[in-house]
Every structure is written in C-alpha cells, then in structure tokens.
Structure 1
Amino acid sequence: MALTLAKNQSISLEKTAGSDLKNITLGLGWDPAKPSGFFSKILSGGSQDIDLDASCIVLDADKKPVDLVWFRALQSTNGAIKHSGDNRTGEGDGDDESITVDLRKLPPLVNYLVFTVNAFTGQNFEKIENATCRILDSASGKELARFNLSEKGKHTGIVMAYLSRSDSGWNFTTLGEATNGRTADDLVALAIQALRT
C-alpha cells in the first residue's frame, strides 16, 4: 500500500521501495471540475478541458538551475529525465502526464529535482479536481507515495514536490506551494524560493 503524504512530508525512496532504486516516475493526474447546478451545466456545455503541465526544474547543490524538462523540452540535456508529452484535457483515468528519471544517469552536480504543475491556458485550480501526483518505481510499477493537490483557489500553478540527493540515496519531499505562472519558466524562481523556506 502506497503512502499518502501530507504537505511538507519527506521519505527516503530507497527505504520505501525496499530495493536499489534505479528509475522513478512522477505521475500527475487531474480531472476538469464538473459544473454544478442546472443552469451552469447548460451555459458551460459540460466540463471544460484543462491543460495542466507537469515540469521538472533541475538544480545544483547551490539551488541554481542547470536544466528544465517541460512540454517544450521533453528530455534533459543528458537524457536522464524524460517527459511523457503534453496532455491538454485531463480526460481519462490514471496519470495524464508523467516524468521519468534514470537516477543513475543524473550528473553528480544535480542535487534537486523540483516538480511543478501549472495551467498553461491560465485556468485556476478552482476549475480542477482530483489532482494528484504520485511517485513510482518505474521498473516494477509499484507506487511508492502519492500527494493530493486538493487545495482549491485562484492560483494557476503549484510547486508540488522535490527529490533531493543525500549520502544514503534520494529523498522525496512534498511542498504543495500555490503559485501563479503559465509556464515552468515562470515557476523557476518560486521553486527555488520554496526550497529555501
């Protein structure tokens, strides 16, 4: 049974996986909020598509950006981090977007991987429901932990969570910091700030 983490909780991925972890996947899933009330359903024509974008901001030990993986650059410079591609609707079950990381191929200078989500079309999180990020052992498909992004509001982005390198391996920490920004570029400074608080 996977752990459901609260905001600002941290786990050791190796201990949680119970094995030598080589590849992890961060999956992001969401649904468009369904209009409530008879007239709102008629006026909106049903639920609207929501274009959320998962991204990975790569930082060094000094928390300086060294790479960015997002819908405009679907893999890191050395190929260790890969994005599944842009999902513009949120329809269907399971993960709508995912980012896979080969932990063995990450350069030694990489100390943090910060995962963010933002609404490229500018829709806010009042129009989104069932938003969840989860981390999996890519080899086995085993879900190691999940974090519900349930906070409603006018924000258009969230600094979801980050991986940090330690002597004993990689740790996964949830953040859930609400932000504003349409692209991962807009969230880099906010992600760095979230790590420093």
Structure 2
Amino acid sequence: MSVNLQKGQKISLEKEAGGALSRVVMGLGWDAVKSKGFFGFGGGSAEIDLDASCIMFDTNNRPVDVIWFRQLKSRDGSVSHSGDNRTGAGDGDDEQVSVALNDVPADVKSIVFTVNSFTGQSFAQVNNAYCRLVNAADGKEVARFNLSVQGSHSAQIMAKLYRHNGEWKMHAIGENGTGRTFDDLLPQIVPHL
C-alpha cells in the first residue's frame, strides 16, 4: 500500500516498505497539456522536456555529485539515471533514478530530486506530474507525491532521501522554483537540507 504524500510530509522508508530497502527507484512522470484547436477541434499537445536530476549532498550540505541527463551515473556508482525523455509521451514513468541505498557513500547525508523544464515552458503547460518511490526488489510503490500544481514556475524541488539515525527517510518538499537545470535551483535547495 503506497503512501500518498502531502507537501512537507516525511516518512521512514523502512516502515512504509515493511522492512529494509536496499535499492529504490524514484520515478517521474508527466503529460503535456493538450491545446484546443480552432473551435475546439484538432489541437494537440506541445512537447515539454522535463528533466529529473538528483544532487548528492555531504554532511556539510555541499553538493558532491549530480546525476542528470549529461551524467547518468554517480561517480561512486550508487545512483543511476534512466536517460532523457524529451516529451513525456506514453504511460508510466518518463524518467527514473535508481539508488542503491547501501552503496551510497557514508559522507552523503541527503539526495535531492529536482525537475526542470529544460525547454523553458512553465508548469502551467504540464499535467499529471508526479514522483514516486518504488522498492526495486519487488516493484511495489512505497510512496507517491503528485506535483501537478500548475503555475508560472519552470522547476520543482520534488523530494529528498536523507539519513536520520541510521535509516533512510523521504521528505516530500514540493517547492516551486525557476530554472532550466539543477544549477539554477541550488540556492533554492539549500534551505531544505
């Protein structure tokens, strides 16, 4: 049974999954808003290139590695990205980031997941956006966070996985932001670390 997270909510991954997790997948999905054609006929949807990124922070809240469409694997190998989906077409997750929790270096305190509109459109043109955490061992969804707050923002700080008293937890951040890549979001992420 998956937990439907609310903005700001924090959960223990072990409690929600019913035991220790070794590998999780953060899935991101979205659809482009369909435009209405002439007199409501025709139309279609614009292609929107949302990009999932994952920033690893150390105990001093400094970024130590970034996993995104230009670097699909962390230098230590514990985090990997499925690759860039430039349209959001199709059902299910459009991009996925896999995290081997037991292999994340001990000096990494938190892993923050962001999404940016690389093509520059605002989230007013995005429908059904979500992120979900899945237990890779059995494919079961542990938690889901619906992101479809439409508006003029072009990015969102979705969630973070973090260590607390020796266990991994998840914090649904859901903070709207601005920028085409994770770099633009770094100043907005720091208060959430």
Instruction: Please confirm whether the aligned pair reaches a TM-score higher than 0.5, indicating the same fold.
Output: yes
Superposition deviation, residue 193 in structure 1: 2.6
Q: Distance in 2 between matches of 1:41 and 1:15?
A: 49
Q: TM-score, normalised by structure 1?
A: 0.94
Alignment coverage as a number of residue pairs: 193
Give the match for residue 24 of structure 1: 24
Structure 1 residue 96 and structure 2 residue 94: aligned?
yes
Partner of 2:173: 175
State the partner residue of 1:148: 146
Find the residue that maps to 1:171 and give its secondary structure: strand
Distance across 2 between alignment mates of 1:163 and 1:140:
19
Alpha-carbon distance, 1:39 to partner: 4.4
**Kept in 2: contact 1:164–1:171 (CA 8 A):** yes
Equivalent residues in 2 for 1:100-111 (5 A)? Answer: 100-111=98-109
AA partner of residue 83 (structure 2): G
Measure, in 1, the Cα distance between the counterparts of 2:51 and 2:178: 13
Cα deviation for residue 38 of structure 1 reads: 4.0
- TM-score, normalised on structure 2? 0.96
Q: Deviations over 1:11-57 (max 9, x none)?
A: 00011111221000000000001114644765xx4111110000001
Q: Which amino acid aligns with 2:164?
A: S
Structure 1, residues 152-188: CA drift from partner, whole Å, max 9, x if none? Answer: 1111000000011012410000011000000112112
Q: CA RMSD in A?
A: 1.3
Instruction: Give the equivalent residue in structure 2 for 1:86.
Output: 84
Where does structure 2 lack aligned partners over 5 or more consecutive residues? none
Comparing 182-191 and 7-16, the one that deviates more:
182-191
Asked whether the equivalents of residues 35 and 41 of structure 1 are also in contact (C-alpha less than 8 Å), the reply is no
Q: 2-side partners of 1:100 and 1:132: how far apart?
A: 16
Extract structure 1 runs of 4+ deviating beyond 2 A: 36-42
Greater shift, 160-169 or 51-60, is seen at 160-169
Aligned-residue sequence identity (percent) comes to 52
Aligned: 1:190 with 2:178: no
Alpha-carbon separation, structure 1, partners of 2:192 and 2:77: 26
AA paired with 1:32?
A: A
